[in-house]
Amino acid sequence: MVDFFRLPDLGEGITEGTIIELNIEEKDTVEEDEDIGKVETDKALVDMSSPYSGTVLKLPVSEGEEVKVGQVIMVVGEEGEEIPEEEMEKEEVEKSEEPAKPKPKDRGEEIKATPRVRKMAEERGIELTDIEGSGPDGRITEDDLEKSEKEEKPARVQLKHDFYGDIEHVEYKGVRKTIGDKMSEAKFDAPHATSMDEADVTELWELREELKEESGSGLSFLPLIVKATIETLKENPLLNSELVEEHEDIIVKKYYNMGIAVATDNGLMVPVIKRAGLKDVFEIYDELVELVENARDRTIDLADLQGSTFSITNYGSIGGTYGVPIINPPNVAVLGTGKIRELPRVVDDEIVPRKVMQLSVSFDHRVIDGAEVAEFMNTLIGYLEDPEKIPLD
């Protein structure tokens, strides 16, 4: 019996991906659940496993090819078995068929689009009357704009030199483009404001050294900051919320899923430590190490990038002091932590060296006011400067 392995539904509304790696060739033997390659979506790199055992009769895709959900990736059967021609012919027809170009709207016909989409169209010089909306009730979406722009954009010759010297081209697509789109959406949809302050973390430094010595682990500061942040969110719950603007609803979360920004070769990813309030600092540290490793080698599960209620970006780990972080939707706030520096500070009327960390909180001003963020910051600083208050378990 001939079996057709098609690109499965990967969830999260993902409809296509790019074949990055194939571990098989035609005439190879595969086993059920065997890893046959990787496909890159606009969110992550996903392993493909064969649901069938047998001989690879046909491999109609190649590395670098874009494929859609439902498209045949591999045909498996018994060695020498013939593939039903009608099935492959049907597959080729479906791949080659281009969707019909939408009929332009009459000038008098109502154009359904959000103010944001209208503004984007105006900035890009796109005429909305020429676009058929794919959203509810024919509403024109951002994806419709992108598709229209690609259809109208002429082929571009990529030069290796400009007027001043050599240049290199780096593709802006896949994960990198998704990050860019998400950050643009966050920055322009949510009116950002940022509050900055500093914390004397001398005692936190000493606590971390004690815990490292006692446990024999490489415990970093971040799990302690996560625990301090959770305690702070309990006292300032509005920062642990989500705005559903179309329903005029602010959803305050009673649990704490902490998104942690991670720099990777493919851009910024935000793995999520689920139910972090129920884990001790060592569990958070171990989970964080695993998530960071998976994010950087692009084996992270899509589920590990979803569900955050608040995010932290630790640019101090790469030497940054201050930053103005961008909110990670659907969160309404993000904490940025700088590197810990030894600086002179006044303690008991004396100038002494202290360990100091700069802090930044960017927030959605539709949901949170500056006074609430000041309270959040003061509470957080209180925990960081008196770490005995931080529950370690």
User: Which residues are identified as catalytic?
Assistant: 365
Report the distance separating Cα 356 and Cα 352, nearest Å.
12
Contact (Cβ atoms closer than 8 angstroms) between residue 26 and residue 73: no
* Residues contacting residue 238 through CB under 8 Å, at least 6 positions apart: 250, 252, 332, 367, 368, 372
